[in-house]
Chains A and B, each alone.
Chain A
């Protein structure tokens, strides 16, 4: 297992080099003068500034040398400076990323807690009213446009009923907890600021629920399908023939087997959420990576775009690795295959 994980981590290096290479080349291929883009027209008119900038980023060298210089900077944690925010990209990413991770993570937690029981129930009661109802719900969840749900949710639960707080990660009156992870819920718990914790959690609920309509819909269907594949398996009858109750058979023998493919989907959905929450982040004024990416794209903020691409690449790869590790934890057959180097 350790061999496997280290081998996979080793494989991350060429993947990341590939990602940076492609984004770097694409950004240079686009006909915008990086000097103008980075410094603005005013500074670009000033030859000394341009010369200094060109020297710093090696813009007079060949593309390959430029790339190597970029990589050297990257290695020291220098992702360049954002043209739009005028702050180092690395710093920007560190402040925006946790907000998105918190939102996506909470959404996934919520979805799993909703979908696994629903999916199991629908599969066990296949063809009954319960099954029909669950499938209808998931269909609605998957089909409903997120932006509409977000608007309707805000209108109803915030403006009219006032049972959830408004947009943002915290109420304006509260200070963020001392930064450890950047996730407000966890940091506030670590600092024992219960009030802040409650407030951060309350702010998470509505956007997460709305995101979860889609993810939970997908996961419920997946759980149901996967359960349906497991239910006719011989080993369930073996369990019954040993004297196991129906509940025990489903929970101890069927469910663990059915969850194996669901884990993959959870990983994929989590990756999608991290990169695809722009809409919700905008509507809920959530200072996350989605909004940062959106703004970077609008302003042709190349250092930021490359930085974001890199972060997404790393995140996807790590999530995938995580999924594979969990997979192996759940399924001994995969462990055997890994040990034999077949995966």
Chain B
């Protein structure tokens, strides 16, 4: 390709955004190129400027943003200065966008089919009737079983995965040369994410469509991109081939990103290499190298002068210390390994001979939600949120609960917290039946069981200061005022916020800080059990690692019992001693975390593990990609609920529902053919094994 004009060339792009006192440059000299058949990944935390950069390519910028310098060229044609009409003629026809939130990105009151074929009509490519049939064809080719129903429906009637496929169909329908996908899988379940990434990879490989994939998740990008650009504070700080970026990152930020992904071969419970601090806000980028404030290698020159992006090895990097870091990477990494190994040994309390007492016992709880039916006089529909779920949690354990949207994990959390009632079954806490306690008794229970919620924005009262937020539980359980204040400060310090945060309001905090307040509030009264429902899924990757580390500190220091709910198996595995995998209101597999994640017995567990985007995916193991979406919880399939998506389903699966049965080593599984999907988990080492090869390469 050298010498010819590239398909897309972004040259020294600068974008400024209007702030209170004038304009602030938030994209500062970004250059990149995309060519047919190539896939470029852009990685960075929120606010790094990656979305602004790609929006500028098609000139769909927020009102407050302006391109101040640089050029975007498509086949040599300058788009930055082209007329609005010319740019509109290119959008959708030459360059298409796929964005993150498919619900917000589809017009809620227009039929999906009409929206999918709109590019054809806007560019006068075919007539209305032809466009409609092309839309249906396109949806079918993306693996949607009933495109006619989808085209006639409205966005809210479909699942996130189906909507995202409709968005991809829209982007593809006019056969563009370039697709820009901005966080296309971020809100999706792991198995659906794997489907979407598979579609994008095939487009790129088989149809030669150029692809720019934006994500905050390095693992997602590494799945399908051959080149990666890492952005920080409005600049590309490192770029190169995916192999080089992952195998031998030269910029400390890239290095930290690679290391902050949980489950990258590190043993369970080891501290993640979190990047300290928060991503810089656009209000004030630090002077010098913007990463210097969070960088463990920073020296004086870093704080004074910003490094240029210069060629080094195969890629390019903007760091004063790139050389030493690249050279020293091997030895330091080895050191990291020993440190973590040592800290694990020191940290884990000696294993007691006798298993610790049972703290929580859940016996066959069922919870159905009733929804009125569409027609009067018909019986209401039942949503099977929980169906005969049984679990035990011993003191000091961390039970991870994983599963996709709608599997009932949040309902389970609410039932255990006694925020929702169960229809049948029993919940025992320290041997006492708490299933139906009310009033004062229930209030006393709250002292022992505390929640941490997902949404750090919605779960803190915006009108309360951090002090009273943290002290709330203390107040309601009668701690004297003087003691309260001490405890608040102690807790704030423990969660890494410091005493001066006590007087702040939630809106003055970042997402990570809010979640720390949420954790502080939960531990303030020394509960015995904490139930955390997706506590890190709303956070940036680097901040996520900090919060995961905080959870591990909690486990060690207070010997807390924790129920940790997440859709992200990487996180669950890293934190938990035991995991329960849920599917459609049922626990389908349970056991020690390590065993379940390395030799899954249930094909669904295998599929979940297989769909976790890996930093390096070993092609020899193949991938178990499930078809379609989880079935509707209003009418679960007969027999095994997973059978409609299970590649191994046999006749008996439709007839007999498998019971959760005991296996060796305290494991349990609900499958007629346990272990059948083991072919997809390579070498008994699981995903950790895959990463081992990367570590080895780095050390070589």
Contact of A240 among B60, B108, B109, B373 (CB under 8 A): B60
- Asked if residues A242 and B118 are in contact (CB atoms below 8 Å), the reply is yes
- The answer to the question of B697 belonging to the interface, with a C-beta cut-off of 8 Å to chain A, is no
Is B326 interfacial (CB-CB < 8 Å)? no
Q: Which residues 93-117 of B sit at the A interface, judged by CB distance below 8 A?
A: 93, 96-97, 99, 101, 104-110, 115
CB contact list, B103-141 vs A, under 8 A: 104-110, 115, 118-119, 122-123
A242 lies within 8 A of B109 (CB): no
Taking CB atoms, residues of chain B closer than 8 Å to A246 are 84
Q: Select B97's contact among A241, A256, A339, beta carbons within 8 Å.
A: A241
Q: Kindly provide the distance from the CB of A257 to the nearest chain B CB, expressed in whole angstroms.
A: 6
Known A-B contacts A237-B60, A336-B157; A243 and B108 likewise in contact (beta carbons under 8 Å): no
Q: In the complex, which residue of chain A has the Cβ closest to the Cβ of B123?
A: A243
- The minimal Cβ–Cβ distance linking B624 to chain A, given in whole angstroms, is 32
Is B88's beta carbon under 8 Å from chain A? yes
Choice from A239, A241, A257 contacting B96 with Cβ under 8 Å: A241
Check A235–B107 contact: CB distance below 8 A. Answer: yes
Bound-state CA distance A17–B352 (Å) is 74
Which residue of the partner chain, among A244, A339, A341, contacts B118 with CB atoms under 8 Å?
Answer: A244
Assess the A234–B101 pair: CB atoms within 8 A: yes
- Annotate A151-165 by CB proximity to B: 1 below 8 A, 0 otherwise: 000000000000000
A340 at the interface (CB under 8 A from B): yes
Inter-chain contacts of A340 with B (CB < 8 A): 371-374
A331–B170 CA distance with the chains assembled, in angstroms: 22
A3 contacts B by Cβ under 8 Å: yes
**When A238-B170, A340-B371 are in contact, do A243 and B90 touch as well, CB less than 8 Å?**
yes
- CB pair A235 B372 closer than 8 Å: no
A56 at the binding interface (Cβ < 8 Å): no
Pairwise interchain contact B374-A339, C-beta atoms closer than 8 A = yes
- Chain A proximity mask over B372-403: 1 for CB below 8 Å, otherwise 0: 11111000000000000000000000000000
Q: Is A332 an interface residue (CB 8 A)?
A: yes
A127 to B376, CA, bound (A): 50
Residue of B whose beta carbon sits closest to that of A246: B84
- Total A-B pairs in contact (CB under 8 Å)? 94
Q: Could you say which of A243, A257, A330 contacts B91, with CB atoms under 8 Å apart?
A: A243
Contact A342 B118 (CB under 8 A): no
- The answer to whether A233 has its CB under 8 Å from any CB of chain B is yes
**Among residues 270 to 322 in chain A, which have CB atoms less than 8 Å away from a CB atom of chain B?**
none
Q: How far is the CB of A9 from chain B (nearest CB, A)?
A: 14
Q: Which of A237, A336, A339 has the most CB of B within 10 A?
A: A237
The 8 A CB mask of A247-278 against B (1 = contact, 0 = none) is 01000010011001000000000000000000
What residues of B have a CB within 8 angstroms of the CB of A239 in the complex? 107, 118
Chain A residue with Cβ nearest B103 = A234
Q: Is the CB of B60 within 8 A of A241?
A: yes
Give chain B interface residues in 295-336, CB to chain A under 8 Å: none
Q: Are A3 and B372 in contact (CB under 8 A)?
A: no
Provide the B23-52 mask, 1 if CB < 8 A to any CB of A, else 0.
000000000000000000000000000000
- Does B207 belong to the interface (CB within 8 Å)? no
**Which of A3, A240, A241 has the largest count of B CB atoms less than 10 A from its CB?**
A241
Provide the bound-state CA to CA distance between A234 and B55, in Å: 12
Q: Is B154 an interface residue (CB 8 A)?
A: yes
Q: Which of B106, B118, B157, B170 is the most central at the interface, judged by chain A CB atoms within 10 Å of its CB?
A: B118
B58 at the interface (CB under 8 A from A): yes
Contacts of A86 in B (CB 8 A): none
A245 interface residue per 8 A CB criterion = yes
Known: A237-B99, A336-B157. Is A243-B105 also a contact (CB below 8 A)? no
Nearest A-chain residue to B116, judged by Cβ: A242
Tell me if A7 is interfacial: C-beta within 8 Å of chain B.
yes
User: Which residues of A sit under 8 angstroms from B104, Cβ to Cβ?
Assistant: 233-235
- The answer to the question of A87 belonging to the interface, with a C-beta cut-off of 8 Å to chain B, is no
Complex Cα–Cα for A3 and B374 (A):
9
A341 vs B379: C-alpha distance when bound (angstroms): 12
Minimum distance in angstroms from B106 CB to a CB of chain A: 6
Contacts of B682 in A (CB 8 A): none
B109: chain A residues within 8 A (beta carbon): 256-257, 260, 330-333
Contacts of B154 in A (CB 8 A): 332-333, 336
Query: Which chain A residues border B650 with CB–CB below 8 Å?
Result: none
- B585 on the A face (CB < 8 A): no
Whether the pair B89, A243 counts as a contact (CB closer than 8 A) is: yes
B-chain residues with CB within 8 Å of residue A256 when the two chains form the complex:
109-110
Instruction: Tell me which of A7, A237, A330, A333 contacts B105 (CB under 8 A).
Output: A237
Q: Which residues of A contact B107 (CB under 8 A)?
A: 235, 238-239, 253, 257
* Bound complex: CA A342 to CA B154 (Å): 18
B156: interface (CB < 8 Å) = yes
Instruction: Kindly report which residue of chain A lies nearest to residue B91, judged by CB atoms.
Output: A243
Q: How far is the CA of A240 from the CA of B59 in the complex (A)?
A: 10
- 21 A–B contact pairs at CB < 8 A? A234-B101, A234-B105, A235-B104, A235-B106, A237-B99, A238-B97, A238-B99, A239-B118, A240-B91, A243-B88, A243-B90, A243-B92, A243-B119, A245-B84, A256-B109, A256-B110, A331-B109, A336-B154, A336-B156, A336-B157, A341-B376
**B positions within 8 Å CB-CB of A:** 58, 60, 84-85, 88-93, 96-97, 99, 101, 104-110, 115, 118-119, 122-123, 154, 156-157, 167, 170, 371-376
- Using A238-B106, A240-B60, A339-B374 as known contacts, list a sample of 19 further A-B pairs with CB atoms less than 8 Å apart, ordered by residue number in A: A237-B99, A238-B107, A238-B115, A238-B170, A240-B91, A241-B58, A242-B91, A242-B92, A242-B122, A243-B91, A243-B123, A244-B118, A246-B84, A330-B109, A332-B156, A336-B154, A340-B372, A340-B373, A342-B372
Q: Which 9 A-B pairs have the closest CB atoms?
A: A341-B372, A243-B92, A242-B92, A234-B104, A332-B154, A241-B97, A234-B105, A242-B119, A235-B107
